[in-house]
A = this chain, B = another copy of it.
Amino acid sequence: MSAAVLYMSISLDGFIAGPNERLDNGLGDGGSRLHEWALPGANADGKDIVRPAGVNGQVFDEMMSTGAVLAGRGTFEPAGGWGGDHHDGVPIFILTRRDPNDLRQWPRVTYVSDITTAMTQAKEAAGDKNVLVHGAGIAQVALAARALDEMELHVIPVLFGQGRRLFEGLAAEQLEMERTRILQGEGGVTHMHYRIKR
């Protein structure tokens, strides 16, 4: 059974991007600090990405073995739509309430306007594999709609002080989780996996 899993790099104080986010500054000021663990071989342009080693590599591989990607337009557009292929050519589902006609139409990308339909389609497309849920906006929407099954937080040993938070604007309702795995990655990164109880 396919599970919808959020993979998210986050500072210890809960930020997933630095301040002053813009289309041309998608991670905010200093936000790339959160992704160093996953891109150890990237140069300044983000080219020549090399798979990380060790525990970080294990988690990276899991993320990249998902069978579909679900993201919001706010993640998709600054990333240039990943050129229409996030990894291994798996189907990509983009949640957008706006008309997607101005977006480039890649063959593997489907635009969906509501989270329930998007998640259903993504899980069907993923088959036996999991769905990679990608981005803070879609995470908040999926959490609110109770459509998220699991989350893997890559907790980076840094305090940001300011920026964009992963957990913001949710209702005051306690949501219990099951801690399913804690991995101590290289560089002080702690990978924390939780299943959301229903």
Contact = CB atoms under 8 A, between A and B. Distances in A.
Nearest to A159: B175
A182 B157 CA distance: 12
A70 to B, nearest CB: 20
A13 B161 contact: no
A105 interface: no
Given A182-B182, A190-B182, A170 B162 contact: yes
Name the residue among A12, A143, A162 with the largest chain B CB count within 10 angstroms.
A12
Contacts of A192: 12, 155, 190
A150 to B, nearest CB: 12
Contacts of A162: 170-172
Interface residues of A, number: 37
B174 A158 contact: yes
Nearest to A30: B174
A71 to B, nearest CB: 21
A177 B12 contact: yes
A172 B19 contact: yes
A137 interface: no
Contact of A170 (B30, B161, B178, B190): B161
Interface string A8-51: 00001110001100000000011001000000000000000000
Interface of A: 12-14, 18-19, 29-30, 33, 143, 153, 155, 157-163, 165-167, 170-179, 182, 184, 188, 190, 192, 194
21 contacts: A12-B177, A12-B194, A13-B14, A14-B165, A30-B174, A155-B192, A157-B194, A158-B177, A159-B167, A159-B174, A159-B175, A161-B170, A161-B171, A161-B172, A161-B173, A161-B175, A162-B172, A178-B188, A179-B184, A182-B184, A190-B192
